[in-house]
């Protein structure tokens, strides 16, 4: 019998929580990706969603696991130090070419994710358009285990609250 990995268990619970909110009319799932990289023996999952009445800004929750984490889980189940997965959250917001606007968005996101490292990236389309896309990534610098599943499900509320705050500020 196949024993699901930490990655599989965390993914299934979070995916279910997001789709429950979709069914409740709270959010709209706009993308989902589940990759297995056979060259690196790694896994990556992401699910993106937006608030129903505001699709210009969206959130992407990401989960990843590499060969070291997976092999330690299977071959050394007693050694929890090298098991688990990594997670991050990325907010994508349609903005103008205005650095003050970008700093305001960073402040809004920082208010919801106090103490977390947040990085900003601007993606400029070619040919140049009036609006560009700002990607703000919230980094979690620790390994996620099955024991953290309840915290991850609670994070979904923070993700939605962040999207609502962005909408209230015109993003």
CA neighbor of 26 nearest in space, from 62, 58, 53: 53
CA neighbor of 167 nearest in space, from 42, 46, 53, 14: 53
pLDDT in tens, 88-145: 999 999 998 889 999 999 999 999 999 899 999 998 888 888 889 999 999 998 999 9
End-to-end, the C-alpha distance of the chain in Å comes to 48
Residue with the bigger pLDDT between 128 and 54: it is 54
Count the alpha carbons within 13 Å of 37 in the hemisphere toward its beta carbon.
12
Per-residue pLDDT at 1 exceeds 50: no
Per-residue pLDDT at 78 exceeds 80: no
Global pTM value: 0.92
Confidence tier at 2 by pLDDT (50, 70, 90): low
For residue 159, give Cα distances in angstroms to 1, 75, 130, 137, 170: 36, 35, 27, 12, 17
């Amino acid at each position: 019998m196949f024993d699901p990995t930490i990655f599989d268990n965390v993914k299934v619970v979070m995916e279910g929580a997001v789709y429950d909110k979709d069914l409740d009319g709270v959010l709209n799932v706009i993308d989902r990706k589940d990759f297995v990289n056979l060259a690196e023996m790694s896994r990556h999952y992401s699910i993106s969603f937006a608030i129903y009445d505001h699709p210009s800004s969206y959130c992407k929750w990401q989960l990843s696991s590499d060969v070291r984490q997976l092999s330690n889980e299977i071959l050394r189940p007693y050694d929890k130090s090298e098991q688990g997965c990594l997670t991050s959250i990325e907010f994508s917001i349609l903005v103008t070419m205005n650095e003050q606007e970008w700093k305001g968005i960073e402040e809004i996101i920082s208010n919801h994710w106090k103490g977390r490292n947040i990085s900003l990236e601007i993606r400029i389309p070619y040919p140049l358009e009036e609006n560009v896309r700002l990607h703000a990534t919230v980094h979690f610098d620790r390994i996620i285990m099955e024991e953290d599943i309840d915290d991850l499900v609670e994070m979904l509320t923070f993700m939605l609250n962040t999207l609502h705050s962005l909408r209230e500020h015109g993003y």
